[in-house]
Amino acid sequence: MKEDNLDKLLTEIGGFGKYQIRVTILLLVVTVFTYFTATAWLFETKGVNHRCRIPRCDENTVVFKPSWWMNAIPSIANEPVSCGRYKRISNISEEQCNASDFNKNLVEICNEYIYETSERSILQDFDLHCEENLWKLTSVGTLNSIGNLLGLPIAGILSDKYGRKTILIISISLSSLTGLIRSFANSYVFFISMVFVDSLCNAATYTTTFILDPHIKKIVLRPFLRILYGVQLIILAYYWLLPESVRWLLIKARYLEAQNLINQIGKRKMEHFVSLQTLKELCVDGADDLNTTESLKHLFKSCTLATRLLNCIFCWIIGTFVYYGLTINSVTLSSNTYLDFILTVLVEIPASAVTFFLMGTFKRRFTLCASFLMCGICCIAFIFIPKDFYWLRLCTYLLGKSFSAIDVSLIYTIASEMFPTTLRNSLVSVCSMFGRIGSMVAPQIPLLELLWKPLPLVLFGSTSLIACALSLMFPETKNTKLPDTIEESKYVGRHKEIIRLQDT
């Protein structure tokens, strides 16, 4: 079925009206709740600063850094170590802990802790204290990304077979149930199992929500998660509120349902009705297009296109790595965890507007190169700003995140404009799939802080600068015709007119 045929039909019955607004609002609610639940693991796995509890010294206080702490606890960069304390050599009074009471040549491991804040995460729930358990916290994010990676193709196959609306409702229901069960988890293995299942379902929710287009607090606690996931169950009512995709109904030859849906839209707009015969002819007209595909092996015969594909994959990996890495790292910027995270997310709104302006004003390749460059500069500059300058550090960080969001959008646009029509969806999907490598590696970045605190930002900055140089290898795609064939795509961005063969 030709996309132009259906688009033309939908245009004839009117533009964006009340019907489309209603569907858009319904899908927006789904997206908002899905985003909240999909990022909940960031706070569930947050590493809370802690130190050993010193018997008798900490009997009457819960202060993280009392006046005597350096007498009893080793330090690194003027901060108490997480899981070690000096061995006691004498009785300690409840009022004071003197240096002479401890042997600073002997360090022992503890099993009771004092925390810097009242925040709670799975670190306390499953006893994941100390550096040797940090990998268990970071692995939750990686497993979440793997679940999304596996969930995307599964969601695509199931939604094509059973319908977008059906899979959307099922995926949200399963996500809600696994989220509620996860909040009662009493072991680490059970917890990460539920995280994996939840990420599988969230992947299906995102894709089906996108396809169903409109043409038709102080701390995060388990009770809060139960409320959040419980509210999602309300979306079960979408079975009666949300319409199925018109395109899917036509592809599945369910013409009567498609007719009723299109006529429902037309009735709301006081437009004419569509007959069954019109819908059948619409599908027949595009039937031959399903056979006009070009093999990937022909693409790799062209050194130019193969190089562009590999370059696109590499830049896509870097883009998603830095994008997700900056989002994840935002919860460790300061004690204002939730403010920092919210601002890191909200900054993408003006970034999207800026992206739209830049793509309409400047050339694609120049804009992509500049965005990678500025992102790298911001990440590296952040390292040299003293911690006392909180707002300057935050603004620099948010600026870097903005440029990261811009380059992710631009790489997607360039990829969709430089590949031939017959392979465009497949190649963009391949790039997106490999890009998930970046999102899977990003949650492991906190492990680098054990080597050197600024190392994550150094890595974000350096990889962005590498992508900046590689982006110059892309062709300029602004104001160029979308190539239909592999041969035409070779000349995208060159000062050579693409001459299309006319049927005789």
pLDDT score recorded for residue 326: 93
459 versus 144: which is more confidently predicted? 459
Position 279 confidence tier, pLDDT thresholds 50, 70, 90: low
**CATH second-level architecture of 1-47+134-291?**
Up-down Bundle (1.20)
pLDDT for residue 94: 54
Alpha-carbon distance of 449 to 455, in angstroms, equals 6
- Vertex 377: Cα angle to 375 and 378 (nearest 5): 65
| pLDDT given for residue 283 in this prediction | 57
Higher-scoring residue by pLDDT: 219, 41: 41
Going 455 to 458 to 462 to 468, the CA torsion angle's sign is positive
Q: How confident is the model at residue 323 (pLDDT cuts 50, 70, 90)?
A: very high
For the domain spanning 299-504, the CATH number is 1.20.1250.20
More confident residue, 424 or 337: 337
Q: Does residue 228 have a pLDDT over 50?
A: no
Measured CA to CA in angstroms, residue 425 lies from 57, 293, 301, 419, 421 at distances of: 64, 11, 19, 9, 8
* Mean of per-residue pLDDT scores for the chain: 77
Residue 44 reports pLDDT greater than 80: yes
Work out the burial of residue 24: count CB atoms within 10 Å of its CB; fewer than 13 is exposed, 13-18 middle, 19 or more buried: middle
Domains 1-47+134-291 and 299-504 agree in fold: yes
pLDDT digits (tens, 9 = 90+) for 78-108: 888 888 999 888 665 555 678 888 888 889 9
**Lowest-pLDDT choice from 91-105, 241-255, 447-461:** 241-255
Residue 222 has pLDDT above 60, yes or no: no
- Residue that has been written with the tokens 């297009």 in this structure: 289
Cα distance between residue 471 and residue 315, in whole Å: 7
Q: Do residues 221 and 6 make contact, with C-beta atoms less than 8 angstroms apart? A: no
Question: What separation in angstroms does the CA of 187 have from each of 136, 143, 194, 382?
Answer: 12, 16, 11, 38
Task: Provide the pLDDT for residue 6.
Answer: 53
Question: For the ranges 69-83, 207-221, 276-290, 487-501, which has the lowest average pLDDT?
Answer: 207-221
pLDDT at 239: 56
pLDDT above 60 (res 288): no
pLDDT for the residue numbered 269? 46
User: What one-letter code names the amino acid at 325?
Assistant: G
Of the listed ranges 62-76, 128-142, 148-162, 228-242, the least confidently predicted one is 228-242
User: What is the phi/psi pair of residue 493, to 5°?
Assistant: 90, -5
User: Residue 499: how many CB atoms within 10 A of its CB?
Assistant: 8
Domain coordinates in residue numbering, the chain: 1-47+134-291, 50-116, 299-504
C-alpha of 390 from chain center: 26
